[in-house]
Every structure is written in C-alpha cells, then in structure tokens.
Amino acid sequence: MIIFKKTRDLHKWLEAQRLAGISIGFVPTMGALHTGHLSLIESSIKANPVTVCSIFVNPTQFNDPKDFEKYPITIEKDIELLANAGCDILFLPSVKEIYPDELSPSLKYDLGYLERILEGKFRPGHFQGVCMVVHRLLEIVMPDNFYLGQKDYQQCMVIKKLIALIGLSNAILVNICPTLREPDGLAMSSRNVRLNEDERIKATAIFRNLSFIKENLTTGDLKGLKETAFRNLSEAGFNVDYIEIADANDLSIIDDWDGQKKLVALAAAFMTEVRLIDNILLN
C-alpha cells in the first residue's frame, strides 16, 4: 500500500491511472477503522483495480468540540488493517493540506430540508462540514466509485445531493453498503470504543428499539409507536435526540403511514457522553 500525505502527489499518481483507463474506488473515513470500514474497502477492491482510502478527522464537521477532541485515533493499527485488506492507496492529509486557506465554510451548500431534520437539526453545521471535506476529497481523488455505509443514512443522502450540486452525478457512482453489526445487534462504529463495559451492554437498546418499530409497524398513526420506542430507549439509559420513522427515499417524517411508502427508522441518542446513531429499513 502506498501512503500519500500530499494532495499534489496523490493527484499525479491517480491521473496516470485514469489516463490508463483504470477505474478508481474511494472510501473516505475518519480512521479508527473497524470491520464495517473494511467491508467498504472489500466492496471497492472487488469492483475497481485501484482502491483509495482516506483518513482525515475533519474538524469542520464536529459541532461539539468535545466530540472532536475525544475522537479515537488509531493510525498505526488502521494502516495495518488497510494493508492487510489489500487497499492500494492511503491518503493521510494534514488539515493544511485539505484546508489551505481557512477552516470556516466558504461555500454554503443548499441541502434544503435534509439540513433541518434529524442529524441536521440536532447537529447544526455538521452537514456543511461534511460537504466541505467531501467536496475537497472528491476534487482530489475524482473516483469512479464512491463507497459509503448505510449506518450514516442521512449522510448518504446529503452526499448524493452534494454530488448533484457540484455537477458530478454522471461521473461518480455512489455505492451504499449495508451496516455491519456486532453479534448483539449494535451497529459497528468508531465511537463504540469509548463505551465502558456497562454502557456497551446498554447500547444494544438502540437496535432493539429500531427492531421493535419494525416488528410493530402497522398502517395508520405511527405516533404511539414512536413514543413507546423513545420511552424504552430513555428507560434503557439513553439521552435520546430522536427515534423517528421517515420516508426511505427523501427522509420526510412519517406520522401516518399509507402502507405503501418505503420507510426507514432512525435513532440518535447519547449513552453518557457518546452519541450513537443507527437506522434500519422497515419494509
């Protein structure tokens, strides 16, 4: 695996591949890699002769400075995992390399409704930061295939919107890969390592309550079902931001189901200081 730290060097190397007609797969990450990330790398390797992974803990997407400070960094282990997985290129830029001029958003991405609901509502500015870094990374890597995890359901929609906004929808194919889970159902996440033993056990309540929604879904009024799931999650020790049911295609919140629309249940909640998110498709 080749490690590039400089944008210019990576760009030059990739340009040569592109000229040779080689397709490039790209997996952006913030490091602290787990099996979920490696499954994205594996999908990319299967479909592209060249797979690029980036590790960059993006300061502009943390609305909570404490979350940024405590974000786990395991770079040596990450390098070993990527090399063993068969990743071709690791891009490991500095903050200056990604943001040579300034850190505050210079572009305002018009994400519309997506920025006002769920993660957008509870993490103001978060998606602008995600768009800033992904826009920059896409300019540098210009992949044919882009790999994202379904665990960040709303982020997948935001990034698809970004790609349309910057006019790259015809050039880049977004591949959304399934969420990987621990045997007890907890979605794999870099933040899980911050949970202590007791919190780790309690954390399974997120998946349990999303599954509870799936099992008890009926047409008509959904408010009671959401309220019960919210209460269960709070009683399990979570400080809940939301547990919601939304249209799987556009994330509009659904309170009354016609039995037809494709639905997704999504949750975000704090276990002490650690904020966890998860979602499952319902039908």
Residues with a catalytic annotation lie at 37
Amino acid at site 280 = I
Options 127-135, 211-219, 225-233, 270-278: segment touching ligand PAF (CB under 6 A): 127-135
Q: Is 28 in the site for ligand PAF (CB under 6 A)?
A: yes
Options 25-33, 112-120, 169-177, 252-260: segment touching ligand PAF (CB under 6 A): 25-33
Binding residue for ligand PAF (CB under 6 A) from 133, 222, 240, 282? 133
Residue with tokens 């665990």: 151
Options 126-134, 176-184, 221-229, 238-246: segment touching ligand PAF (CB under 6 A): 126-134
Residue 57 Cβ, how far from ligand PAF at the closest point, in Å?
Answer: 8
Nearer to ligand PAF, 152 or 244 (CB): 152
Q: Is 58 in the site for ligand PAF (CB under 6 A)?
A: yes
Binding residue for ligand PAF (CB under 6 A) from 97, 119, 152, 244? 152
Q: What residue spans of 20-74 are helical by DSSP H?
A: 35-47, 65-69
Binding residue for ligand PAF (CB under 6 A) from 4, 25, 29, 172? 29
Which residues does 90 contact at the CB level (< 8 Å), separation at least 6?
1, 2, 3, 4, 52, 53, 54, 55, 79, 82
Residue with tokens 């998946």: 207
Whole-number Cα distances in Å, 259 to 42, 213, 219, 223, 263: 36, 14, 5, 15, 9
Q: What residue spans of 142-261 are helical by DSSP H?
A: 153-165, 197-202, 205-216, 223-235
CA atoms within 13 A on the CB side of 191: 21
The side-by-side arrangement of strands in the sheet containing 239-247 is: 239-247, 263-271, 274-281
Q: Is 130 in the site for ligand PAF (CB under 6 A)?
A: yes
Options 23-31, 181-189, 215-223, 235-243: segment touching ligand PAF (CB under 6 A): 23-31
Q: Is 97 in the site for ligand PAF (CB under 6 A)?
A: no
Q: Is 134 in the site for ligand PAF (CB under 6 A)?
A: yes
Residue 8 Cβ, how far from ligand PAF at the closest point, in Å?
Answer: 21
Taken as a whole, the chain contains a residue count of: 283
List contacts with ligand PAF (CB under 6 A). 28-30, 58, 61, 130, 133-134, 152, 155
